[in-house]
Structure 1
Amino acid sequence: MTTTPMRIVHCVRSPIGGIFRHIRDLATAQAEAGHDVGLICDSTTGSAFDNRGVEELEPKLALGLARFPMQRQLTFKDLTATLALYRHIRDLKPDILHGHGAKGGAYVRLIGSILKLRGQKVSRVYCPHGGSLHYDPNRFEGRIYHTIEGMLGRLTDGLVFVSDYEAAAYESKVGQPRALSRIVYNGLTPAEFAPVSVDESAGDFLYIGMLRDLKGPDLFIEALHNIRLKTGQAPRAHIVGEGPDEERYRNMVKRFDLERAVTFHGALPAREAFKLARNVVVPSRAEAMPYIILETVAAERPLIATRVGGIPEIFGRYSNRLIEPGHIGKLTVAMEAALDSPEQMAGEAKELRSCLAETFSTELMNDRITTLYQELKGIKPADQSVAAPANGLSGVARAQTALARSSNRS
C-alpha cells in the first residue's frame, strides 16, 4: 500500500511488557511502510531483557531513540521532564505524536498542544493501554486520575482503544470521547500462529507476566498451595517474568513450602516459556487487551484465564470458559480440572486458535492506526480494503455490560 510519508513519534513511560510489544510492532510496520519513526521512553526502568528489545528496535527508528527520566506517579519532577521532552520533540517536527499509557499520553498531549500554539501542525494521539482506566472511579485516586484524563481529552485529536472494554471504560469513567476514536485490537505476526509443543520434562502450570498483584501471581501460588493441601502433592509450576513484587512471591513460595515444586525463571520470550509447562495460567485482576493471551492461544497452548478487560473479546463464543477474577477457589478448581482432563484442555486450545488469526494481526493493527493518522492529517488512504469502521466504536455497547459487572464487584 502506497502511503504519504509521515514523521511519527511514540512516547511511553516504561518500555516493558505488552505496551512495548504494541509499540515495537507498530513502529516496525510504520518504518517498513516508509514513515520516519521515533521513540521516547523512560531511562530509569527496564531490565536487561526489556532493554534488549528497545535496542533491537533502535536501528529502525529514523527519528531516533531518546530516553529521559520519567516518574510513574505525578511529581514536581514532571515539570523538568516535560521541558526536556518538549525541546527534543520540537526539533523532530513530528506530524504525529502518539502517547501510550497514562504518562506517555499526558506528555504528548501537553507538548503537542504547545507545539500547535507555536504553529507546528502536529496531531496528538493517545492509547491508554488500561493505565489510569484500571483505577476504581469510586476512590479518591481514581477520581483524580479520571478528572485529569477528562481535561487532557480536550487536548486530544485521536484516541486508540485496544479493546471494546477499554473504550467502554473510558466512556464510563472519563466521558464520551471528543476526539476521533478507533478500537484497534493488538495483533500477532503470522509466525506466531505456529503451535508450540512442550518439552518432555514439562511441568504442569506456567505463569508468565509481570510480577505484580494486578496480574495475579499471588493467586497462582495460593492455588498451587490449595491443590497440595487437597492431594498431598504440589503441581510442578514455572513462574516467568519480572516485576516489583518478585521478592514477596518468592517468600510466599517459601512460606507454603513449594520451593521444590515452583521454579522462577526471570523474563523469557513467550514461545520459549510455553515449552516449560502443559498449561498456561493468566489469573489477572485487570487487563486491557493482553498480548500473553493472544500469544498463548496462537501457540495452541491450553489456557486458564480470567474474565477481565478485553479477554472475553479474544475468547469470543468460548468466553464461558473464563473464570471470575480474584476468586482463589474458582482458580483452584479450574487448575484441578486441567490436571484431570489434559485431552479436553488440548481440544479447547485447538478450537480457540482456529478463530484468532483474522482479527488479531499486526497488519490489520498497523493499517487501522495508520488510517486514523491519515484521517487526522487529511490524507486519503491509497487502499481502503482494511480500513476501520466509520466511528470505530461499534463494540462499545456490548462491552458496557461487562464493565458494569466489573464495577459492581469492585
Structure 2
Amino acid sequence: MKIIYGITKSNFGGAQRYVYDLAQEADRQGNEVIVLCGQRGILVEKLREKNIEVITLESLKRDISLINEIKSFLEIIKILKKEKPNIFHINSSKMGGLGALAGRIMNLYWKLTARNFKIKAIFTSHGWAFNEPRHVWQKIIIKFFTWVTILLAHKIICVSKKTLRDVIKWPFVKNKLIVIRNGVSAFNLDKRKDDSFTVGTIAELHRIKGLDILLTAWSKFTKRYPAKLIIIGDGEEKENLINMARNLGISKSVVFRGFIDNARSLLSNFDIFCMPSRSEAMPYVLLEAGLAELPVIATSVGGMPEVIENGLNGILVPAENTDILFSSLILLAEDQDLRKRLGARLKSSILENFSFDKMAHNTLSLY
C-alpha cells in the first residue's frame, strides 16, 4: 500500500509528532510511505534520518495567502497524480482542506478517464481551530470550511471524544467520524540534574497554550515557595512571555529553555507538570508526563479531562483562572505523598489506555 501523509507545517509540535510516528510505523510494516509538508523544518530532518521520503512545498505556510494557497493546491494535485497513493492521510486545517479537495478532484479525473483507481482521504483533527479564542465572525467562517473539509474527506479521525462531540451534530458528517486517541511508547528519562523544587511545561509558545496565565500564578506562588519554573519550547510569544516575567519580577525563577529535541527526556527534572492551555485536543506531552509518573495540573479543556480524572490521577483547573491554578500549585507543593499518588495513578492509566501500539493498529486498520 502506498501512503502519503500530509501536514502544513514542518516544525515539531504534536501534529508533526503524530505524522512522524505513524510514518515510521507504516514504513516498518512494509508500506511505501511519503510525507508531504510545508517548507523544510525539523520534521523533514527527522524523517530523512529515518530514510522516509519527504516532499516539501515552499508555498505551503500557515499564514493565509491566496496566491500561495493556489500554488500549494496545484502542487498537491500534481503530486497525487504522479504518486497515486492508496491513502492520503492529511493533518492540520490548511493541508486538510486543500488535500481533501485535491483527492476528490483526482478521483473524479480517474473516473472520467476510465482508470480503476481511487484515493482514500483520511483527515485527522488535532483540535478544531474554531475552539481557539477568536472573533465570532472568524469562528463562523472557520466552522464552514471545517465542515467542507469533513464532507470532502472519506474518514475523520478525532483524537478525543470531545473533538468528535464538537462536530457530530453537523449535517452529513456523523458516519465519517471515528475516535482514535493519541498514544505513546515508553521512552528514556535523563538523570535529574537539579534537586531544587521545579515546576515545568513543554509547549509551543503561542497564546493558546496559556503560559501567560501560568506566569501570573507563578508570581504569587514564588512569594510563598522558593522554586523554579522551566518552560521548554519556542514560538511567536517568546519575547512577550520573557517581558511579562520581567515585569512581574519573576525572571530569576523562570527559565526559558527554547526548543529542545527529545524534550520529554527532561521530564525527570520536574516535580510538577503544568498544562495551562486555553484549548487542546489530546496533547502528547500530557501523556508523556503521565508516563514519567509526574503529578499534572491541566486545564479542563478539550480531551484533557479524558486523561485526567480530577483528584484521582491529576488536577483539573478552569482555563484562564490564575487563582485556582495558584492554589493547585500550593496544594501539590505542600504534599509530596499526594504528588506520588497522582503520578503513579496517571502512569497506570496511560499504560492501559493510551499506548502507541493501540493507536497505530486502529489507524492503519482504517486504511
Match for residue 220 of structure 1 among 201, 214, 231? 214
Q: Structure 2: how far apart are the matches of 1:291 and 1:196?
A: 19
Distance apart, 1:175 and its partner CA: 4.4
CA contact (8 A) 2:59 2:71 kept: no
Structure-to-structure mapping, 1:109-258, within 5 angstroms: 109-119=100-110, 120-135=117-132, 139-171=136-168, 174-175=170-171, 177=173, 180-189=176-185, 191-192=186-187, 198-229=192-223, 231=224, 235-258=227-250
- Give 2:65's aligned residue: 75
Deviates more, 1:244-253 or 1:84-93: 84-93
User: AA paired with 2:283?
Assistant: P
SS at match of 2:345: helix
Q: Structure 1: how far apart are the matches of 2:270 and 2:314?
A: 24
- Give 2:276's aligned residue: 283
Match for residue 9 of structure 1 among 1, 4, 23? 4
Structure-to-structure mapping, 1:4-403, within 5 angstroms: 6-15=1-10, 16-43=12-39, 46=41, 51=42, 53-58=43-48, 60=50, 63-76=53-66, 77-119=68-110, 120-135=117-132, 139-171=136-168, 174-175=170-171, 177=173, 180-189=176-185, 191-192=186-187, 198-229=192-223, 231=224, 235-268=227-260, 269-316=262-309, 318=312, 321-373=315-367
Distance apart, 1:36 and its partner CA: 0.7
Distance apart, 1:96 and its partner CA: 0.8
Once the two structures are superposed, residues 180-232 of structure 1 have per-residue CA deviations (whole angstroms, 9 ceiling, x without a partner) of 3321111111x23x777643434421121111121111111111111234x3x
CA contact (8 A) 2:264 2:285 kept: no
- Give 1:402's aligned residue: none
**Structure 1 residues 272, 315: CA separation in 2 closer, same or farther (over 3 Å shift)?**
same
Deviates more, 1:200-209 or 1:349-358: 200-209
Once the two structures are superposed, residues 292-335 of structure 1 have per-residue CA deviations (whole angstroms, 9 ceiling, x without a partner) of 11000011012111111111111247378311111111001011
Distance apart, 1:86 and its partner CA: 1.8
SS at match of 1:358: helix
Q: Structure 1: how far apart are the matches of 2:4 and 2:51?
A: 9
Structure 2 alignment gaps of length 5 or more: 111-116
Structure 1 alignment gaps of length 5 or more: 1-5, 374-410
Relative contact order: is structure 1 or structure 2 higher (C-alpha 8 Å, sep ≥ 6)? 1
CA RMSD of aligned residues (A): 2.2
Q: Structure 2: how far apart are the matches of 1:88 and 1:305?
A: 41
Q: How many residues align?
A: 357
Once the two structures are superposed, residues 245-299 of structure 1 have per-residue CA deviations (whole angstroms, 9 ceiling, x without a partner) of 0000000111111121111111222333213321111111110001111000011
**Structure 1 residues 207, 63: CA separation in 2 closer, same or farther (over 3 Å shift)?**
closer
Q: Structure 1: how far apart are the matches of 2:350 and 2:37?
A: 31
SS at match of 2:250: coil
CA contact (8 A) 1:37 1:61 kept: no
Identity between Structure 1 and Structure 2 (%): 24
Q: Structure 2: how far apart are the matches of 1:342 and 1:161?
A: 36
CA contact (8 A) 2:8 2:95 kept: yes
- Give 1:391's aligned residue: none
Q: Structure 2: how far apart are the matches of 1:118 and 1:290?
A: 38
CA contact (8 A) 2:107 2:119 kept: yes
Once the two structures are superposed, residues 105-129 of structure 1 have per-residue CA deviations (whole angstroms, 9 ceiling, x without a partner) of 1121011011101114101111121
**Structure 1 residues 61, 9: CA separation in 2 closer, same or farther (over 3 Å shift)?**
farther
**Structure 1 residues 359, 215: CA separation in 2 closer, same or farther (over 3 Å shift)?**
same
Deviates more, 1:160-169 or 1:340-349: 340-349
- Give 2:114's aligned residue: none
Distance apart, 1:63 and its partner CA: 4.7
